[in-house]
Amino acid sequence: MPRLSEVIAALENLWPAERAESWDAVGTVVGDPGQEVSRVLFAVDPVQEIVEEAVKLGADLLVTHHPLYLRGTTTVAATTFKGRVVHTLIKNDIALLVAHTNADTADPGVSDALAGALDLRVVGPLVPDPSDGEGRRGLGRVCELDHPVTVRELAARAAARLPATAQGIRVAGDPEALVRTVAVSGGSGDSLFEQVRAAGVDAFLTADLRHHPASEFMAAGAPRPLALLDAAHWATEWPWCELAATQLDEISDRRGWDLRVHVSRTVTDPWTAHVASDATSSSTGAPN
Ligand SMILES: [Zn+2]
């Protein structure tokens, strides 16, 4: 049975901490390097619900995409929700490892997993990492479709293939426009609009798009109209958990570790319901 230090070293080889953004907080949050690891759980969010799932599962290591603490803290008292997470982890001998922006830019990374879930063929990164001579690492991915589909069909595919959330998929642009190339970025992607336009793709699929950036992006139009597809943040990053679990499974097989690797299916998207506006009143333009 491997020690935590060995498992973490293998995972940090996939997502080296020094490739994380300077503002990020990745790596080991909780854990004794000498403890043995037999069961690992992957999830997007290090929230209490997920930690309790790890306890029930008998996991020794929880790997999440989002950091527990992004900024410093002066307390891990169990009266705070993050402190309670820390207490539950330590009391149950569960380590916590975070792979965030270092997993975003990895090859393969978060956006490769998103593209894979939608059967999109990755051409390359949307924002290449200049330190990667091979040009494979970086933020977001530019992808091609084997057969062109309409924006509506692509949104339907995303709704069907990504895990179900209350939000579903929001679309900006002509739903009948044809899509041959698409940029994807797991998580909040509205800082990438300029690169999306420069990539000359037909559509951009990401999450957390806000009114002003989206509205200005659509109004700018040129050189040609583009469609925006906005999914739930959690849903765009969840496919990475499956990819990462497969990567750890392969490492475990190669090294004879016999790890049990699991992916949490608990929906930790904060939005729990969605009510569509009444189609009749909106088509007549009547205020409601
Ligand atoms: Zn995220």
CA of 63 relative to ligand 1 center, distance in Å = 14
Residue 85 has pLDDT above 50, yes or no: yes
Residues 217 and 114 in one domain: yes
Residues 91 and 109 in one domain: no
- Burial degree of 182 (CB within 10 A; 0-12, 13-18, 19+): buried
A 10 A CB-CB count for 119 gives 11
Residues 136 and 52 in one domain: no
Residues 112 and 220 in one domain: yes
Residues 96 and 111 in one domain: no
> Token pair 């330590």 is at which residue?
90
Residues 95 and 183 in one domain: no
Element (H, E) at 150: strand 138-150
User: Comparing C-alpha atoms, which of 103, 105, 86, 106 is closest to residue 94?
Assistant: 86
pLDDT tens-place string over residues 110-152: 999 999 999 999 999 999 999 999 999 999 999 999 999 999 9
Residue 115 lies in a domain: yes
- Amino acid symbol at 215: S
Residue 75 is part of a domain; what is its CATH number? 3.40.1390.30
CA of 70 relative to ligand 1 center, distance in Å = 12
CA of 81 relative to ligand 1 center, distance in Å = 19
Residue 273 lies in a domain: no
Is 147 marked as a binding-site residue?
no
Which of 268-274's residues contact partners 24+ apart within 8 Å by CB, and which partners? 268/43, 268/44, 268/45, 268/47, 268/49, 268/50, 268/234, 269/165, 269/166, 269/167, 269/232, 269/233, 269/234, 269/235, 271/165, 271/166, 271/167, 271/232, 272/166, 273/166, 274/166, 274/167, 274/168
Residues 217 and 166 in one domain: yes
Domain boundary among 231, 253, 278: 231
CA of 262 relative to ligand 1 center, distance in Å = 20
CA of 256 relative to ligand 1 center, distance in Å = 32
Count structural domains, the chain.
2
Is 233 marked as a binding-site residue?
yes
Residues whose CB is less than 8 angstroms from the CB of residue 286 and which lie 6 or more positions away in sequence, other chains included: none
Predicted TM-score (pTM) of the model is 0.94
Domain span at residue 254 reads 4-100+237-263
Residue 4 has pLDDT above 50, yes or no: yes
Residues 55 and 10 in one domain: yes
pLDDT tens-place string over residues 230-276: 999 999 999 999 999 999 999 999 999 999 999 999 999 999 999 98
